[in-house]
Amino acid sequence: MMLDAGKKWETNNLIFTNPTGGYLSYRTVYDCFKRVMVKLGLPDTRFHDLRHTYAVAAIKSGDDIKTVQENLGHATAAFTLDVYGHVTNQMKEASASRMELFISAVSS
């Protein structure tokens, strides 16, 4: 695309661009995303849901909350915990269950 655009090319260091190197419009991204979801046979999903999915997966996989906060661009880790606290609560419950099994096994 850069070669095709020639002198009209805008250098913005973007990965996905319009034909002249500029930003893609919201509508372009949205429409493409919806087509991909349909093609994959996945349920109707908002583009923003990808951000939520990333955050939940990162926390569940053990990324520290400060890293997740910075990757999401949140001002504070407290905000990230407020938004995704349900994930950490699930992790606490799972941890408690594992400890209960461990204690049961040791005391048997």
pTM score above 0.95: no
Q: Which residue has the tokens 């002249």?
A: 20
The two structure tokens encoding residue 29: 């991204």
Which residues, 6 or more positions from 74, have their beta carbon under 8 angstroms from its beta carbon? 80, 83
Question: Does residue 86 share a domain with residue 64?
Answer: yes
Say what angle helices 77-107 and 49-60 make with each other, to 10 degrees: 40
List, for residues 29-87, the tens digit of each pLDDT value.
Answer: 999 999 999 999 999 899 889 999 999 999 989 899 999 999 999 999 999 999 988 87
Shared domain for 59 and 101, answered yes or no, is yes
If asked whether residues 54 and 79 sit together in one domain, one would say yes
| Domain stop point among 26, 42, 58 | 42
The reply to whether 77 and 104 lie within a common domain is yes
Segment (H or E) for 8: none
56 and 24 in a single domain? The answer is no
Using the predicted structure, report yes or no on whether residue 108 has a pLDDT greater than 80.
Answer: no
